[in-house]
Structure 1
Amino acid sequence: MRIGVLGTGGMAEALGGKWAAAGHQVFIGGRAPAKAVALAERIGARAGSLAEAVAFGDVLLVAVPASAAVRALGDAAGKVVVDCTNSIAPGFLLDEPAQAARLAAASGGDVVKAFNLSPVSAWREPEPVYGGTRLGVPLCGDSPEALAAVRELVRDAGCVPVDGGGLARAALLEAAAAFVIGVLKSGGQDVRAMFPTLPEALI
């Protein structure tokens, strides 16, 4: 795939690096040309502006702060847009709910919410396996073709795609991220302990 990555931070490096290593053509777009070039050199990609990344990619990863995502993406009609952003306000509440829906409305792209529930450290792992189970990545989107493309990218990141429903349900993923981040920041508890294993849940 031709993947345009919008951003030069940790998520851009971790996911863009995995996809470049898997053989995809990756283009890093950034507001600071030097940062984009440096990142591209580290992961084996090309570099340029945000607009050039949008023009290059059939698939676009939005890896800029949520507050800048709509502006950075621009017109993405006909493209698959992967939204990994979380819009968290001080106090770990949702600052702007339904971020993925706003991206879809503003850009015209086929938005899939994904990769927003785990920190960047998880995506830097060569094999994201925890407790013997490969990391699952929930996906929310309306386009079957876009979902199929993102499922492939999830597998190429060493993870398992999980069907989360249509794009309207992306707001639930965003709320879950806000809740989990708040729990972690307030006490550092292991949030996995809040969810029983499937056999136990069905008892």
Structure 2
Amino acid sequence: MDRVKRASDLVVASVALLLTAPLQGVVAVLVRWRLGSPVLFRQVRPGLHGRPFELVKFRTMRPVDAQRGWVDDADRLTSFGRRLRSTSLDELPALWNVLRGDMSLVGPRPLLVEYLELYTPEQARRHEVRPGLTGLAQVSGRNAVSWEERLRLDVEYVRTRTLLGDLRILGRTVTAVLRREGISARGDVTMPRFRGGDTGGAS
């Protein structure tokens, strides 16, 4: 399955990059105009087997600036950034990560490197596959589900993944994006930090 999945990722990511190139150009200009440079957000995330890679997305937040009061996510996330996130247009550059093999179209979302030491052995199984642009947790509530539930869904995907299942998740992703579901956790503009183990909170 893994070879077929990788071949599918290559084909779909290549076509998607070509088709979305004009749109990505427009978004890049808007990000430069509304948020300034850099246009792209780059951050090291853990991939397959926890190996680090550089995730690339369009920037949606202002830089940290204590003098201007831009410290936490609520201050740094602009209305323009919210619109980008709600439409998932900020994720389009990550198609390059799929093309390079850092990510897959479907899989557990890549989280922060600092979370690696906080997972239980069961939760750490999410790294047995490549992280994805979308995944089972994303179509089951996205950022509105608790950390415990999100990580449980990630491991469930690892255990039960099939090509047909991936197609279903991709279909459900389109619906979720159109409905703009689960963009942020309750009481948070994005999601609270993961504190480890089976703690609650949303992601």
TM-score for both structures, normalised by structure 1: 0.29
Structure with more helix by fraction:
2
Question: Relative CO higher for 1 or 2, CA cutoff 8 Å, sep ≥ 6?
Answer: 2
Structure with more strand by fraction:
1
